[in-house]
Amino acid sequence: MKRVEIGRKNLADYEELISSEKVREIESLAGALKGAKVLHISATAYGGGVAEILHTLVPLMNDAGLVVDWVIIEGPSEFFELTKRMHNALQGKEDTVTDEDRGLFSTVTRANADDYSFGEYDYVVIHDPQPVALPEFVDFGKAKLIWRCHIDTSSPNESFWTFLNSFLGKYAAGVFTLSDYARAGIAVDRIVNIPPSIDPLSNKNRDLTEKEMQTALKKLQVDRSKPVISQVSRFDPWKDPMGVVDVYRALKDEFFGLQLLMVGSMASDDPEGWKIYDDLLRYVGMDYNVKVLSNFHGIGEVEVNAAQRISDVVLQKSIREGFALTMSEAMWKKTPVIGGNVGGIPLQVKHGVNGYLVNDIDETIDYTAKLLRDRDLSRQFGEQGRGIVKEHFLTTRHLLDYLKLFKVL
């Protein structure tokens, strides 16, 4: 296990973005919890929404007066291939847990447990399936154990669900984006609903200077005089990247010079991503108006920020989805959005108010065309979207939700 080096953040920097009432509520709860020791455990320190959230949430918890650490587990590639299968199966994909799988999961978890040397905590928050079994092998003392599940397990593969659920009895609470994501019969008594959030002051979401925009656009290889649609997400079959390309192909004749940005990141706990990336490149072929880019092309937070800002429409055409932070990221930048009518996307996108929810490719094509044609409607959706994110999906609300949970426990 490795400790993650984290930066510093100040809650005071966020005051101008939220109401003074919310700031006082955070300060009051944090005061009651001052000095409480919290440990977050996850699978990776970069390359996904969980890591991105923790890089903001952990420093803000520390600034609020708690004492918070973050560590990640380690394991061979075979382990992360298994946990990616588990991730997909918990969202409903057909698969079966074998004795070999159980042995590998136990061996890697035990090895991480043997490496545990981080002391005692009041609260331990374990994120997603990869480290879920650690309480079987680590004595966390009097700590309240919290399992934070970032995926939709409401209709899982039964084999993997039974395996996962066997570890959940040791937890005091299970945190889900939506309480409906928790499968009936889950071994955790207390289910808490805490949606994810974005950090409005991070490099991915803050305002950019014109110089930063110009530098980013060179990396993105985008012509700002031509229309742009984009999807920012992991290279994952549930995100339907080929379907996004199909939407672009259906529209490129009507909208001259239309460009498609497919921007993703490769995470250490997602070995399947490289296969999807390779398949996507083959599917795109020699169409140079489609840009398939990742962190290995030097595309970082600033470039993603720029891509979402200059896009005429941001898509998230997911088939299954936990939340899709990219919807809130784009809305914060006043960019109209279209998302699959699944998972946490309808929490963020109100159909016909700040974007559109779609159920198939034909709907995606029709609504994307509508937004590309109607600039006034796009601006209206953009304004509405930013207001919704400001009220419900900023990191300060996320911090407050965790403080409330700690207080209750």
Proportion of the chain above pLDDT 70, given as a percent? 99
The overall average pLDDT reported for the chain is 94
Q: Give me the mean pLDDT over the 91-103 stretch.
A: 95
Q: Give me the mean pLDDT over the 70-85 stretch.
A: 95
What is the pLDDT confidence band of residue 32, given thresholds at 50, 70 and 90? very high
Q: In what order do the strands lie in the sheet with 337-340?
A: 290-293, 259-263, 228-232, 313-316, 337-340, 355-358
Sign of CA dihedral 177, 62, 56, 237: negative
Write down the pLDDT at residue 190: 96
**pLDDT above 70 for 268:** no
Q: Give me the mean pLDDT over the 309-329 stretch.
A: 94
Q: Which residues pair with 191 in a beta bridge?
A: 174
Residue ranges of E strands in 205-358: 228-232, 259-263, 290-293, 313-316, 337-340, 355-358
What is the pLDDT confidence band of residue 271, given thresholds at 50, 70 and 90? confident
The H or E element that residue 126 is part of is strand 123-127
> What residue ranges define each of the domains in the chain, with the CATH number in brackets?
2-197+394-408 (3.40.50.2000), 210-392 (3.40.50.2000)
Write down the pLDDT at residue 65: 95
Q: What does the alpha-carbon distance between residue 289 and residue 258 come to, in Å, rounded to a whole number?
A: 7
This model's pTM is above 0.95:
no
The pair of structure tokens assigned to 195 is 């949606």
**pLDDT above 80 for 93:** yes
Q: Give me the mean pLDDT over the 6-23 stretch.
A: 89
What is the pLDDT confidence band of residue 119, given thresholds at 50, 70 and 90? confident
The H or E element that residue 88 is part of is helix 77-90
Write down the pLDDT at residue 372: 98
Dump pLDDT digits (tens) for 276-302. Answer: 999 999 999 999 999 999 888 889 999
Dump pLDDT digits (tens) for 164-189. Answer: 999 999 999 999 999 999 998 999 99
State the amino acid at position 173 in one-letter form: A
What is the pLDDT confidence band of residue 221, given thresholds at 50, 70 and 90? very high
- Look-up: residue for tokens 């930066």? 7
Write down the pLDDT at residue 320: 87
Contact predicate 230/333, CB 8 Å: no
